[in-house]
Chain A
Amino acid sequence: MHIPDNYLSPSTCAVFAAAMVPIWYYSLKKIKEDLPKDKIPLIGVGAAFSFLLMMFNLPIPGGTTAHAVGGTLIAVLLGPYTACIAISVALLIQAVIFGDGGILAFGANSFNMAFVLPFTGYYIFRLIKKIWPSPLGKKAAIFIGAYAGINMAAFIAAIEFGLQPLLFADSMGHALYSPYPLSVAIPAMVLPHILIAGIAEAVFTIAIYEFILKVSPGMVYSDQKTKLNPVFALIVTLIVLSPLGLLADGTAWGEWGADEIAADTSFGTTLGYIPDKMINGFNYEAFFPDYTVTGMPDLAGYILSAVIGSAALIIIFKLLGNIKGGANKTA
């Protein structure tokens, strides 16, 4: 779901970045008002979870891949506004350091994964929990919320892709940016998420939520103890297991490089051309392109990326907790 640069026009990117600014501002305000000070470092833990979950690529029939995001998990644990900021920072690190998701498309990616996903997931969770107020109902609410959240985000991303050829094409009728219309983009994005990534997101969310509830109930209920060591142990386990994401060797739909897109067969036949702006558009070279390090085996590079990404997120939010403060109350 990470839209790379040059798949969306700069004007589309600007619109989404502009839409995200008030959302980020309001989310930060809400965090400062509502989140207890001692819970601020937990945003980093949540962001690290999300970062790691996004590294577990799942193979999709047809040669592409998809991944979970963990947005509903953070939203249920720490609130949707916190999830918005945590995932936005995780996406920023992915874009700048690992080249996963575009720099220009950061606003659009944040809109899909840091706004649509956690808010949809959270409010569906709340609704079901209200209708079905029992422990089983809560579990079902988390499962369905997570499933609906990621599918809604994939649907919005598909609309963003699908509008591009309608709005931006050259005199030959060739698309300048993403070449797939809505009729191709929506099924290509939404079906894999309905069938595989959505279920993975829901399973990951419920499994990690249950684990946290068991080992560190303070992260869920404010009157109980927060134990971070088992949570860190889970992060380390996810880091060690992250190379499993390499087993799915295809590229996610809509995340191809310029060299791959000409051979794509989403239309039924190969596309046959590379959209102009993908060759001559914005180009940024990250430190770890696609979570790999030059000269290092992919497996080691992937683990190294996972360590650097998760540690950086935890450090950033620990520092933010120190500077920003948060609500002047303790959990």
Chain B
Amino acid sequence: MEQIKQHKFLLPEKNNKLPVWLTQNDNYNPCRDRDHFIDKTLLALTGKLTLLKNQPAMATDSFFSASFKLICTIVLILLISLSHRLMFPLIVLAVFLTYLACLDSRRISSILKPVSAAMFFSLCIVLPAFISGQQNTLMLPLKVFLTTMSAAFLAQRTAFSALTKALGGLHVPGLFIMVLDLTLKYIILLGNTAADLLIALRLRSIGKNDRKYKSMGSIMGMVFLKANEYSIDTHNAMLCRCFTGDYHVSQKHRLESRYFIYMAIILTMIVVFLYAEEYL
């Protein structure tokens, strides 16, 4: 009965005139609202997610295996940190700059951005000492520049899955690798969830929405709940696949001729370091 009444109300009047409210121009101009926060967060999230999603597309058939790159980076960072004289860091700088000069501009800037940030931070720390006349303090920013750059090279040129596999080869506990692997997958999943929620919030905010920032807590809460849901699902899925708590990273060990080249490279690095530090 109620529905019929509503229907009647919507029908045009007997003289076939349009209702008054339909003839009036809708003069609604929503106030401009600032979406900087959502825009920036969305951009940052999407950027990081794209980067992570593109990881599997990275070339895995490189001559240098992920294990070698990992060991080489660790040894290099160690040697740079141990050097007391300027010579070894400068040799490494020459090699790094030559490699960088061969890359395209986008890749160069993606490597140099975080590296320069780290270097400027350490430069700010040593600046008072430098101004007061301790010129050798500039060694610290140089070392920070080189060590972060070697880590950036590793991250840029190696897929994360290959890195976790390499960690397995180095006998890093399986649980640690599993946490790393799962973390990466969760970052992508939860990042997608957060991006969807932010887009939803933006679409529903017509005009000026003062309560938008209050919704941020809800978004974070929702992401947390989703994380909980995902973790239960993952655990159940793993149990179904006979997960016993052990996490094996399968490794095939076979001596290949390229391993000798790997060893030669690492030995050369150590010899150059010993020469530069005048131990030889």
B139: min CB distance to chain A, Å: 10
Interface string of B73-97 (1 = CB under 8 A from A): 0000000000001110011011001
A281: min CB distance to chain B, Å: 16
Q: How far is the CA of A288 from the CA of B86 in the complex (A)?
A: 10
Residues of A within 8 A of B97 (CB): 307-308, 311-312, 315
**B85 closest partner in A (C-beta):** A295
Residues of B within 8 A of A269 (CB): none
Does A293 lie at the interface of the complex (its beta carbon under 8 Å from any beta carbon of B)? yes
Residues of B within 8 A of A285 (CB): 135
B277: min CB distance to chain A, Å: 9
The answer to whether B94 touches A314, judged by C-beta atoms less than 8 angstroms apart, is: no
Residues of A within 8 A of B98 (CB): 307, 311
Which residues in window 258-280 of B have CB below 8 A to A? 276, 278
A4: min CB distance to chain B, Å: 18
Q: How far is the CA of A295 from the CA of B86 in the complex (A)?
A: 9
The answer to whether B85 touches A319, judged by C-beta atoms less than 8 angstroms apart, is: no
The answer to whether B91 touches A304, judged by C-beta atoms less than 8 angstroms apart, is: yes
The answer to whether B101 touches A321, judged by C-beta atoms less than 8 angstroms apart, is: no
Which range contains the number of A residues in contact with the other chain?
Answer: 20 to 34
Does B214 lie at the interface of the complex (its beta carbon under 8 Å from any beta carbon of A)? no
Does B108 lie at the interface of the complex (its beta carbon under 8 Å from any beta carbon of A)? yes
Q: How far is the CA of A287 from the CA of B112 in the complex (A)?
A: 20
**A317 closest partner in B (C-beta):** B105
Interface string of B89-118 (1 = CB under 8 A from A): 011011001101100111011001000000
With A295-B87, A295-B278, A315-B100 given, is the CB distance from A308 to B108 under 8 Å? no
**A45 closest partner in B (C-beta):** B101
With A314-B101, A315-B97 given, is the CB distance from A287 to B90 under 8 Å? yes
Q: Which of A304, A310, A319 contacts B90 (CB 8 A)?
A: A304
User: Looking at chain A's contact residues, is the secondary structure mostly helix, strand, loop, or mixed?
Assistant: helix
Q: How far is the CA of A294 from the CA of B104 in the complex (A)?
A: 33
Q: How far is the CA of A294 from the CA of B90 in the complex (A)?
A: 11
With A285-B135, A312-B97 given, is the CB distance from A319 to B86 under 8 Å? no
A38: min CB distance to chain B, Å: 11
A66: min CB distance to chain B, Å: 27
The answer to whether A296 touches B87, judged by C-beta atoms less than 8 angstroms apart, is: yes
Residues of B within 8 A of A315 (CB): 97, 100-101, 108, 112
Which residues in window 276-325 of A have CB below 8 A to B? 285, 287-288, 293-296, 304, 307-308, 310-312, 314-315, 318-319, 321-322
Residues of A within 8 A of B90 (CB): 287-288, 293, 304, 308
A245: min CB distance to chain B, Å: 18
Residues of B within 8 A of A312 (CB): 97
Q: How far is the CA of A304 from the CA of B86 in the complex (A)?
A: 12
**B93 closest partner in A (C-beta):** A308
Does A181 lie at the interface of the complex (its beta carbon under 8 Å from any beta carbon of B)? no
Q: A288, A311, A314, A321 — which one has the most chain B CB atoms within 10 A of its CB?
A: A311
Q: How far is the CA of A310 from the CA of B100 in the complex (A)?
A: 12
Residues of A within 8 A of B104 (CB): 318
Residues of A within 8 A of B94 (CB): 304, 307-308, 311
Does A257 lie at the interface of the complex (its beta carbon under 8 Å from any beta carbon of B)? no
The answer to whether B93 touches A293, judged by C-beta atoms less than 8 angstroms apart, is: no
The answer to whether A41 touches B105, judged by C-beta atoms less than 8 angstroms apart, is: yes
The answer to whether B105 touches A293, judged by C-beta atoms less than 8 angstroms apart, is: no
Interface string of B162-185 (1 = CB under 8 A from A): 000000000000000000000000
Q: How far is the CA of A295 from the CA of B112 in the complex (A)?
A: 29
Q: Which of B87, B108, B276 contacts A318 (CB 8 A)?
A: B108
Q: How far is the CA of A293 from the CA of B94 in the complex (A)?
A: 13
Q: How far is the CA of A41 from the CA of B106 in the complex (A)?
A: 12
**A310 closest partner in B (C-beta):** B101
Q: B87, B93, B101, B112 — which one has the most chain A CB atoms within 10 A of its CB?
A: B101
B99: min CB distance to chain A, Å: 9
Residues of B within 8 A of A314 (CB): 101
Residues of A within 8 A of B109 (CB): 319, 322
Residues of B within 8 A of A319 (CB): 105, 108-109, 112
Residues of B within 8 A of A41 (CB): 105
Residues of B within 8 A of A293 (CB): 86-87, 90
A48: min CB distance to chain B, Å: 9
**A288 closest partner in B (C-beta):** B90
**A322 closest partner in B (C-beta):** B105
Residues of A within 8 A of B86 (CB): 287, 293-294
Q: How far is the CA of A322 from the CA of B108 in the complex (A)?
A: 10
**A303 closest partner in B (C-beta):** B94
Residues of B within 8 A of A304 (CB): 90-91, 94
Which residues in window 109-144 of B have CB below 8 A to A? 109, 112, 135, 138
Of the A-B pairs whose beta carbons lie under 8 Å apart in the complex, a sample of 29, sorted by A's number, is: A41-B105, A285-B135, A287-B86, A288-B90, A294-B86, A295-B85, A295-B276, A296-B276, A304-B90, A304-B91, A304-B94, A307-B98, A308-B94, A308-B97, A310-B101, A311-B97, A311-B100, A314-B101, A315-B100, A315-B108, A315-B112, A318-B104, A318-B105, A318-B108, A319-B105, A319-B109, A322-B105, A322-B106, A322-B109
9 more CB-based (< 8 A) A-B contacts, given A288-B90, A295-B87, A314-B101 = A285-B135, A304-B90, A307-B94, A307-B97, A308-B90, A308-B94, A319-B105, A319-B108, A322-B105
**Nearest 8 pairs of A and B residues by beta carbon:** A311-B97, A322-B105, A311-B101, A314-B101, A318-B105, A307-B94, A311-B98, A308-B94
